[in-house]
Every structure is written in C-alpha cells, then in structure tokens.
Amino acid sequence: MKARVARINLSRNDIEIFETEDFYDWLGGRGFGSKILIEELNKDTDPLSEDNKLIFAVGSLTGTTLPGSARTEIITKNVLTNGISYSSGGGQFGPVLRSAGLDSIIIEGKALKPVYIYIDRGQIYIKNAGALWGKSTWDTEEAMKQKYGYQDVEVACIGAAGENQVNYACIITAKAHAFGWGGSGAVMGYKNLKAITVRGGNNEIKIHNHHQYSVEAKRYQWALLSSDISHLLKLGGTHGMAGAGGFTGQVATAVRNLQEEWWADDKKKKVNENAFRNFEKTRTSCYNCPLYCLHEYKMNKNGEDLECEGMHANSVRGFSSNWDVDEPFYVLKAHSLCNEHGLNVDEVSAVIAWALECFQRGIITPEDTNGLKLEWGDGETLVRLVEDIAFSRGFGKFLAPGVYRAAKALGRDSLKYAMHIKGVGLNEQNVRSHKAWSFGMAVSLRGGGHLGGSPHVETLRISENTGRWLFNLEKAGVPESYEGKGKVVAWFEIYKALIDSIGVCYFCAGWYTFTLADIEHITALFNALTGYNLTSTELWNRGRQIINLEKTFNIVHGDISRKDDRLPDRIYDEPLTIGPNIGAYVDREKFEDMLTEYYTTLGWEPESGIPTKETLQELKQDDLLELLSL
C-alpha cells in the first residue's frame, strides 16, 4: 500500500509528489517522519538552517471513522536539544490534508522572501506571503480563509514567535491547536514559511476491508464511551481533571517554579474548571472525537474583551500556580497569547518562573530586566512579558532562547533554578511524588514533558490485580514505589510511539482507559486498513524500532546519553514541605536503578543507553549499527 508524499524545496521553488510504501511500513505519522529525518539529515545540521527538514505526516488511521483519529505529527531536528523533535496536533488539519490527496509534506531549504504553501485538492503552489508576515496566527488563518473560503480550508501557521525564531516557537492550527515541541515554529520561521493552507477535496482514504475496519472502529468506540475517565474528560476536559487541583482539589500542581506541588485552596478555587464555567461559551472537539474536551471562553476585564479556545491543564498549571497567579483573566490571557503568537506553553511557563525565582532571590535585578519588576502573582506584568518573548524585545529577548540557555547566559548560580530536562523547560505536576510519571519525563526522547512515556497508572492508582494483569507488577499503581517503574515507562514509550504514528489522540487511545491500550485493537485496525497481516508482536516491534530510530538520532546528532536522562536537582534535593505528599522527593540511587531497568527493558546498554548490537540485529536495524559505529 502506497501513500502520497510532497517534497517541497523552498530554496529551489521545487515541488515533487511521489508515492511510497515506507509511509505505511512505518505506520505513518511519527514513525514515517523519524525514518525520513534520520535517513536524510547530516549529524552536523543546525536546526535553524536550510538543511534541516520540517516534516508534516498524518497518521495511517487519521481521517477515518475511528474516534479521535485527527492527529498530524511534525518531525524536525529539535532547536533546544539538537536531537529529535516530534509534535502531535489535532483539530481538522490532518483529515483535510488527506482529503486533499496527501499523507505527508517534507519541507526543505529556505525561501528568499516570506511565502506560504497552498494545497488545493492535490495541487501545490508556493505563494508570496509578504502581506501575511507580521500577522498573528489568528489573523493569518482568517486571511487565508477569507481568500480561499471557510469550508474545507485548514491552516497551519506561525506567529511573531516563529518569525523571530524564538527557540520554543510552535506551529498553530485552528487558532488553538499547537504543534508545541522542539521549536518547529522557529524552523518554519527560519525557512521564511508563514503558513500551509489546505483546501480539502473528495479524496477517499483507501481502506482494504471496509467492513472489518468499521467493526473494529465501533468496538473501539464502545470501549471509549463506556469509560468513566472518558466521561470525566467530556465533563471538564483536562482543565477539570488536572488543572488547579482537578475536580477534587487534591491533584498536585507546579507551584512557584516547582518549589512545591501544593497550592492554597483559596487560589485553586479561583481558576479551577468550575470557576471558569462562568466564562464558558461552548465546548469544542477535534475531528470525529466524541469527548469535546476543549472549552471556548469569553471574559472581560477593565474594558478588554478576551475570547479564545482552551485550556488544557498545562496552561492552567503553567500560568496560575507556577507563577502564583490566581486571576482567571490573566491565566486565560497568557494562554491566548501563546496561541496567537505561536509559543510553547510549558517553556514560557518555565522560563518566566525561573526569572521570577531569580528576581525573588536577587540573582536577577531591575538592571537586568530594563527596569521591569518581577513578582509572583503579578499577572498583568507577566502577560506583557509573554508578548515581549514572542516579539523578542526587552527582557523578553533574553528569555527567548529558553530557560536552560538563558540561565547559562546569565550565570550567577542561576542554573540551579532552571527547571529543565535536556534543555527543555519543565512545567509539570507530581514530579516528586509519582515516580513513574516523573521518570517518563526524565527519559523523554524530545526532552521534558509527560507526553512520551509517563503513564497514568499511579494517578489512577490501579489495583494490585490490574497491575499484575497489565505489567506483572502489583505495585504499578503505587506512586511512592520505584519497583518495576522502569519497565512500565518503557512499555508506555513504545505504545506512545505507535499511537503518534497511527494518528490517534492519546486521550482516546488508552492512556487513561487501559482497555483501549490493548495492542490487539491497533493491530486489527491497521490490518483492516492496509491489508497487511501483521501480528501484534510485529506491530509492537515496529514501535520498538521507532524508539530505536529516535534514540539513535539523539545520540548521533545531540550527543544525548545517560547523563542527560535525569530530573532537575531540585526534585532530588528539596523534599515537599506542604500538602498531602509532604516529604516526597526522588531518591537518586533508586532513580538510577529505574534507569538501568528502563534501558535493559528496551535492549539498550545500561551504562550508556545506546541500543545494543543484539537488539538492532534482532529488529533488523542494521543501518543504525553503522550510524552508531557498533
């Protein structure tokens, strides 16, 4: 089975459309993109150079009748780490791209002047974007839809942050769906590419066995809708489940640059999902998803109207508790500015929280900030600082490289307050108290963040019986336990690689509801779609191969090894002093034991994290042997 791929070289103004079996062989999405990147990129390539590639790839199941099959993956060389970057986005962009007759776009080179790519039912044009340059992502999308029509037109674009090549600029589609990681917006900005605008057509996704696919999709939907977790997501989204204490008020959060994980009840109540319902206009959803986990809010403060779509828990946590801001308007305003200008929420939260703590400790002074006074809880000032980062002006220009690089540049012992993993800012909850959850962040292949191998087995506190059934591990659901957690994270990392490749939202795919994490579901759907006859073991091994590709890319391109798979020192050295998890911290020795277990489970050398020769030969990845000089 073959997919249609467009290779667009902006330097030469050259467009090639070709068909390839590699797309389905690597499951689409993240698997296909990572395969292309490691094959075609030189290890010395600067992420912000003509030689870097920006790959848009839908999942093999994207745009089908499967619930949540909306995802598109962007793969590129990571601006912050020099390793791999994969980033998943929802909305309607992927399904519309497929309806236009394309499964992937590989963007190369750099345009001499700002351009946008217009795809009209399979035909591709490179057009002048001079009139769009300087516009926000919202205004860019509006301009494209006014020009080409509102029906069946989707736009992925950058704002000021991408144009100014802020290291954590992201790409936005449908005004609120972010391809948030790895500085993909900065890569797009460097290439002078403002937007990709797609008009869908009547192209039908080829399905080998329609009847069998329909049967499997309906079975999958039944399992999804019968889940209590799915109903909670539908009730309040991740804002309700995990933002500002969640539904119960007991969920941990990031407080003042991860100094603590427990925020005052009176503050949480001002910005939790229940409080925000007073401002809710409607609920929204991605393509073919029954959960409607996104909110659209409208509010006013001092005569300023604010209306935008959001928010997931990361924005709530990042712009409220991590900055100690309990005013709903400023939390929503910071979130909306990140969408409008194209900024990664987690890095914005981390770098500003670092600056706040450094100012609090006298490490940063008004002389460094151009007179700006940084205080916890000052939402009005911090919102202005978000915009300054996007436009790379004032003190925002100093913060634009990201928390790790800003701390390195400042010196003055400020690096100890930079919450990062592999140079990627950290804005997270449960980092000390839930061992598998935080360990998944530490080993994340793209650096930082929980959407790699961090499992929900601990937050859901699965029973001993369930832990034994899923992982042969009775204490899998015990947050305080280190036992077997390296194996659990390795399992979820492989599973997430599969989910990102087939193009299904993680919320719909077993991250919360483990019935859906049965690999048999995915195997049956993929085989019905493609006509392949893979066993579940063969499909699982493809996930292992994807992880090996990305790990090898990190080693060769970013010199990323065991020394980099670690948490910030604060998480080991500063136990929590308040809240239900008081006293919690991560034990260094036990962490190292988890890391050894994780590497061993994946078939990597325990001392270095390099995939072993035996593992790569077993999985027929001899090309990686050569790259690693094994």
pLDDT digit string (tens) for 559-598? 999 999 999 999 999 999 999 999 999 999 999 999 999 9
**pLDDT of res. 96:** 97
Residue 128, H or E segment: strand 123-128
* Angstrom distances, CA of residue 339 to CA of 23, 195, 235, 473: 30, 15, 23, 41
What are the tokens at 300? 């006013």
Which segments of the chain belong to CATH 1.10.569.10? Answer: 242-425
3-state secondary structure of 155: strand
CB 477 within 8 A of CB 466: yes
* CA atoms of 542 and 527, how far apart (whole Å): 14
Query: What single-letter DSSP state applies at residue 618?
Result: H
Q: What is the 3-state secondary structure (H, E, C) of 233-268?
A: HHHHHHHHHHHHHCCCCCCCCCECCCCECCCCHHHH
First to last CA, the chain: 33
Strands 304-310 and 153-157: unpaired
Q: Give bridge partners of residue 54 from the DSSP assignment.
A: 107
Percent of the chain clearing pLDDT 70 (strictly above)? 100
Residue 44 pLDDT > 80 = yes
Residue 280, H or E segment: strand 280-284
Confidence of residue 469 (pLDDT cuts 50, 70, 90): confident
Q: Which residue has the tokens 């994780």?
A: 598
**pLDDT of res. 512:** 84
Residue 284, H or E segment: strand 280-284
| Residue ranges in 503-577 assigned as alpha helix (H) | 519-530, 536-558, 569-573
**pLDDT of res. 408:** 98
**pLDDT of res. 133:** 98
Computed over every residue of the chain, the mean pLDDT equals 96
Residue 271 pLDDT > 90 = yes
CB 263 within 8 A of CB 272: no
Residue 396 pLDDT > 80 = yes
Residue 365 pLDDT > 90 = yes
Residue 166 pLDDT > 90 = yes
**pLDDT of res. 117:** 98
Which segments of the chain belong to CATH 3.60.9.10? Answer: 3-199
Residues across the chain: 630
Residue 481 pLDDT > 80 = yes
Confidence of residue 510 (pLDDT cuts 50, 70, 90): confident
CATH topology of domain 3-199: Aldehyde Ferredoxin Oxidoreductase;  A, domain 1 (3.60.9)
CATH topology of domain 435-512+535-628: 1.10.599
* CA atoms of 491 and 487, how far apart (whole Å): 6
CB 440 within 8 A of CB 78: no
pTM score over 0.95: yes
pLDDT tens-digit series, residues 241-267: 889 888 888 899 999 999 999 999 999
Confidence of residue 68 (pLDDT cuts 50, 70, 90): very high
Residue 518 pLDDT > 90 = no
Phi-psi region of 431 (alpha: psi -120 to 50; beta: other; left: phi over 0): alpha
Q: Is the link from the previous residue into 311 a cis peptide, with omega within 30 of 0?
A: yes
pLDDT tens-digit series, residues 308-362: 987 899 999 999 999 999 999 999 999 999 999 999 999 999 999 999 999 999 9
Domain 242-425 class in CATH = mainly alpha
What are the tokens at 294? 């996104």
pLDDT tens-digit series, residues 135-156: 999 999 999 999 999 888 999 9
Lowest mean pLDDT, pick from 132-146, 376-390, 433-447, 465-479: 465-479
Confidence of residue 413 (pLDDT cuts 50, 70, 90): very high
Confidence of residue 516 (pLDDT cuts 50, 70, 90): confident
**pLDDT of res. 514:** 80
Which segments of the chain belong to CATH 1.10.599.10? Answer: 435-512+535-628
pLDDT tens-digit series, residues 281-296: 999 999 999 999 999 9
* CA atoms of 118 and 126, how far apart (whole Å): 6
CB 342 within 8 A of CB 361: no
Count of H-run helices and E-run strands, the chain:
25, 17
